[in-house]
Structure 1
Amino acid sequence: MNRLTKTVSFLFSFFLISLVINAQTTQKLSLTQVCQLAIENSKQLQLSRTETEAAQKAKQVTETLRTPSIDASLSASYIGNGSISNRLFSNWQSAEMPHFGNTFSLQASQVLFAGGAISGNIEKARLQEQEARLHYQQKELDICFLITGYYLDLSKLQNQREVLLQNISRTELLIKQIRSKEKEGMALSNDVTRHELMMQNLKLGLIEVDNSRNIINNQLALTLGLPAGTQIVPDSSALANDRNLINRETLMATAQHNLPELKTVALNKQIAAKEVTIARADYYPHLSLFAANEFNGPILIEVPTINKNFNYWYFGLGVKYNLASLYKNNRKVALANQSQRVAVSAEAVVMEQTAIALYNAYTNYTEAAEKVSVYETSLRLARENYDIIYNRYLNGLVLITEMLDASNTRLDAELAVVNARLRLSYCYYKLLRETGSRFY
């Protein structure tokens, strides 16, 4: 009976472990893979892609303005008998009419000149399509940078976890050594208590790090469309940054070449110029070429009616001019000119904001790089100090307070280096984002 109970308990435990393992799938993802998943699953980007496709369709519709227009009409009718009277509306007589009537008309026209309205609308539609694509690129950069922040936070917490685990392992070893010394009468029980207190603080810190890591991991997994319970393991290569790509002298030129925001305001200025052209087009006459064929029956303009079909064709050149534009179009042109001035001012504002953002991002990046160097030096000194104090403490040459101070100093230095390196990586990707450079 006991053997059966043990077997059932073992199988039940194995089943629970299997459920936990299946529920939490570990997946190692690079920053590029994370960004690609975010792009594929982003609702905002799906909407932006739809808007880009709509702008493309609108451009195609506008391009049809250059093609000829062809109209065709066909009708059949019943014609009643006619009546004839004199000029004083007396002496009415009935006129027999053919009762079936038919008409067929075919007309083609081609605009030859419209004051630049057609070409202006087509070019405007093309610019608006490019603008939609730039909006998509901007949203893609924003989403990937946001995801990069989560990814770096996850990597930072992972590194902090490793630091805490190493300190917990080191503290456990130290507690064992102190207890051995306590048995020999070379250490006080208070020494063990204080190190155990430090151990509890380390474990509490580990719990906080794990909880924060789980929260960010869950949020990132849902954003990427991964199954619930997926544990994302960051790739350490995301912490590397190529400083050769960072050149203060060429940052603005790189931004002008890559940054969607700057390209968008430049396009808006061109669109405003096309709107001025379109508004001025009403000042000019519209010239078109036309050709038509008419097939009608019977011939009703003759009395008696001629029950035959009459076909004729013609072509010519037509001119149309809206005289009201001479006094109505001035305000339309003035509005277009004002919109153009607004677009020019907007471009200047965005250029200024970009220059400020680049300066701030570059300053933060260089500061983060200097801090990494300082913190790495502090960590080296903290480890050397810890080793010295550790050996002295085991030999009874220093007090426990110095040992605890050395341990805390080393822990703080290790965590500071982790945070500084992640801060440097964040500033690096922030600077790339401000220049519009792809990093995924």
Structure 2
Amino acid sequence: MNNPRLLTGLLVATLLSGGVCARGSSPAVITLDEIFAAAEANSAQLRPSLTAVEEAEKEISVAQNGRLPEINANLNFSYIGDGFITKRNFSGYEKAPIPHFGSGAGVNVSQPVYTGGAVTNAIKMAELKSTAARYAAEFKRDNIRFQLTGFYLDIYKYTNLRNVVEQNISQARQVLAEMNARYEQGTALRNDITRYELLVSNLELQLIKINNVIDILNRNLVVTAGLPDETKVIPDSTILSRSLPTDGEAWWQQEASSNAPALKLARSGEEISKVAESLVKADKLPKIGLQAAWTIDGPILVEIPPINRNLSYWYVGVGVSYNLSSLYKTNKSLAKSKIATRKASEELDATRENIRLAVSSDYVSYLEAYEELKTQMKSVELAERNYHTTSTRYSADMALITDMLDAANSKLDAEQQLVNARINIIYYYYKLLFTSGKI
């Protein structure tokens, strides 16, 4: 494998996977880079692509064998029956004794000198297919990495949502305790307590659902990354505090043009089609090769009577062959190959356009995520202020229970949206990395 990124990943994974696996069922903080490294070493989904790279590299050696000489050797033994002689009208039958033991041996060597580019283009084709297999492996790896990123960030998001819900449950229980105390004093209604108990019950149900989602996401992440089944992943909280690059869209477009595996695959497809076209053209050219042979046969049957001796001879020379049927067969194959090349070129243009549009869309979403974060931070500030104000007024019998419920729900919703907004910045950043081939 010639790709340094894949090789480096495998080496890092070899060092890290043991540490990650050793954590067992105890929850532990695992960084996203460690997840990537473990997946590169252990992912069952990635393994076939890496094996395909090895297979394609072996095909190069097979294609290079076309430059080596062809050597054929033969050895035979036979029993020869007696013959007979007749006139042309099959009269005058006469038996012709022949030595019964026959033997033969020979060696033939043929070295291609000129094949019309067939051998050279076959080697080039194998090399291009090897490169394409490597790009396909990169593309598969990037897809797995982005999928893992989604699982990882979702675990982080739902973990934070769990914290938000737990805090709201704690606050709701405090309010409920205050309500019970006021009910004992005759200053609160039982209906108010029931409605707030319903709020707590809904929050507890939401907490159960969040825990189930986290378990499912953890299972998906662990299996996809090839980690031990009992691994419990705790996302690295520092991922939100990292300084993310602020390069403009033009920089991302340039990176995508150079690094996107989908674009590399499309370019390889165009090159492979061009070489396939050259291979078809090679059929219309003569083949030239050096030949050498030695043979020994006995008895000598071309004489009458046969001579019970061995005849040996050798020769060297130049062989020229030309497939005359290619004059009327190759034109149709060549026309088909030209159409395939044009199609590959059109697919390259379409892929380039799709990536350009994807980068532009992801970049806009990336910038929008920052604006959304600012808005949600302000929303949380206002929701908390409203909650505290309403709580104070409710304690002073200046607000209804419906006001408290609305304030609590607004605060919960704002806090949840803030968690989502923070995660979205990281998500769209990694989406840009994925689209541009830099994940």
Residue 276 (structure 1) aligns with: 277
Aligned positions of 1:58-73 closer than 5 A: 58-73=59-74
Pairwise mapping of residues 395-410 of structure 1 onto structure 2 (< 5 A)?
A: 400-410=401-411
Kindly provide the amino acid, as one letter, of the partner of residue 347 in structure 1: L
CA apart distance, 1:148: 2.0
- Equivalent position of 2:301 in the other structure: 300
> How many Å apart are 1:260 and its aligned residue?
1.2
SS of the residue corresponding to residue 244 of structure 1 reads coil
How far 1:291 moved relative to its partner? 0.8
Matches within 5 A, 1:170-209: 170-180=171-181, 192-209=193-210
- Cα distance in 2, alignment partners of residues 237 and 68 from structure 1: 62
Segment drifting more, 183-192 vs 50-59: 183-192
Distance 1:215 1:302 in 2: 89
Report the aligned-residue RMSD.
2.8
Alignment partners' CA distance in 2, 1:246 and 1:433? 16
Question: How far apart are residue 295 of structure 1 and its match?
Answer: 1.6
Relative distance call for 1:205 and 1:84 in structure 2 (3 A) is: closer
Shift, 1:93, TM fit = 4.2
Deviation string, structure 1 residues 94-115 (Cα, Å, up to 9, x no partner)? 4443332221110111111111
Whether the 8 Å contact between 1:62 and 1:121 is mirrored in structure 2 is yes
Aligned amino acid, residue 80 of structure 1: G
Q: Which amino acid aligns with 2:341?
A: Q
Question: Partner letter of residue 429 of structure 2?
Answer: Y
**Most deviating of 156-165 and 425-434:** 425-434
CA distance in 2, matches of 1:190, 1:33: 53
- For residues 336 and 242 of structure 2, the distance between their equivalents in structure 1, rounded to whole angstroms, comes to 49
In 2, Cα distance between the equivalents of 1:225 and 1:264? 26
What corresponds to 1:247 in structure 2? 248
Count the aligned residue pairs. 416
Whole-Å Cα distance in 2 between the matches of residues 124 and 225 of structure 1?
34
- Report the counterpart of residue 122 of structure 2 in structure 1: 121
Separation in 1, partners of 2:54, 2:118: 24
User: Which whole-Å CA distance do the structure 2 matches of 1:95 and 1:202 have between them?
Assistant: 110
Q: 1:67 to 1:350 in 2, by over 3 A?
A: same
> What per-residue deviation string (whole Å, max 9, x for no partner) do you get for residues 208-241 of structure 1?
2223323333444444455656543222244456
Aligned to 1:412: 413
One-letter identity of the residue aligned with 1:359: S
Structure 1 CA distance, aligned partners of 2:226 and 2:244? 33
1:51 is matched with 52
Q: Which amino acid aligns with 2:70?
A: S
- Residue of structure 1 in register with 2:7 after alignment: none
Distance (whole Å) between structure 2 residues aligned to residue 47 and residue 222 of structure 1: 16
CA distance in 2, matches of 1:344, 1:226: 41
Determine the structure 1 residue equivalent to 2:382.
381
Q: Which deviates more, 27-36 or 374-383?
A: 27-36
Query: Matched residues in 2 for 1:241 and 1:102: separation?
Result: 83
1:256 partner letter: S
CA displacement 1:366-398 (0-9 Å, x = unmatched): 111210111112212333443444455545565
Task: Note if 1:105 corresponds to 2:106.
Answer: yes
In structure 2, the partner of 1:256 is 257
Decide whether aligned partners of structure 1 residues 383 and 102 sit closer, same or farther in structure 2, where only a CA change above 3 A counts: same
Task: Decide whether aligned partners of structure 1 residues 98 and 214 sit closer, same or farther in structure 2, where only a CA change above 3 A counts.
Answer: same
Matched with 1:150 is: 151
Unaligned runs of 5+ in 2: 1-23
Letter aligned with residue 63 of structure 1? Q
Percent identity over the alignment is 38
Alpha carbons of structure 1 residues 150 and 119: separation in structure 2 relative to 1, 3 Å: same
Of 37-46 and 288-297, more deviation after overlay is shown by 37-46
Kept in 2: contact 1:77–1:101 (CA 8 A):
yes
Cα distance per residue 1:71-110 (max 9 Å; x no partner): 1111112233343455665554444433322211101111
Whether the 8 Å contact between 2:299 and 2:306 is mirrored in structure 1 is yes
Q: Matched residues in 2 for 1:192 and 1:89: separation?
A: 125
Q: Secondary structure in 1 aligned to 2:334?
A: helix
**1:203–1:45 Cα change, 3 Å:** same
Shift of 1:266: 0.6
* Contact map agreement 1:298 1:307 (CA 8 A) in 2: yes
User: Is residue 2:352 matched to residue 1:356?
Assistant: no
Shift of 1:181: 5.2
Contact 1:241 1:425 in 2 (8 A): no
Aligned residue type for 2:297: N
The 10-residue stretch of structure 1 (183-192 or 68-77) with the greater mean CA deviation from structure 2 = 183-192
For residues 371 and 412 of structure 2, the distance between their equivalents in structure 1, rounded to whole angstroms, comes to 20
- Tell me the residue number matched to 1:12: none
1:57 Cα offset (Å) = 2.9
Structure having the higher Rg:
1
Partner of 2:310: 309
More displaced, 403-412 or 151-160? 403-412
The 1:192/1:86 distance shift into structure 2, 3 A limit, reads: closer
- Cα distance in 2 between the residues matched to 1:116 and 1:434: 38
Q: CA separation in 2, counterparts of 1:85 and 1:174?
A: 125
- TM-score relative to the length of structure 2: 0.85
TM-superposition CA deviations, 1:15-36 (whole Å, max 9, x none): xxxxxxxx96534433233344
**Offset of 1:435 from its aligned partner?**
0.8
Q: Deviations over 1:89-145 (max 9, x none)?
A: 555444443332221110111111111111111111111121122222212221221
Give 1:61's aligned amino acid. Answer: V
Matching residue of 1:30: 31
What is the CA-CA distance between 1:278 and the residue it aligns to?
Answer: 1.0
Q: Which residue of 2 aligns with 1:4?
A: none
Range with bigger deviation, 206-215 or 173-182: 173-182
Asked if the contact 1:240/1:425 (under 8 Å) is kept, the reply is no
Q: Is the 8 A contact 2:148 2:225 kept in 1?
A: no
CA-to-partner distance for each residue in 1:412-433, whole Å, 9 max, x for gaps? 2111101111222222221211
Aligned to 1:81: 82
1:365 and 1:254 map into 2 onto residues whose CA distance is 16
* Alignment partners' CA distance in 2, 1:95 and 1:189: 128
- Contact 1:287 1:319 (C-alpha < 8 Å) held by counterparts: yes
Instruction: Give 1:275 shift.
Output: 1.4
Structure 1 residues 307 and 364: alpha-carbon distance in aligned structure 2, compared to 1, 3 A threshold: same
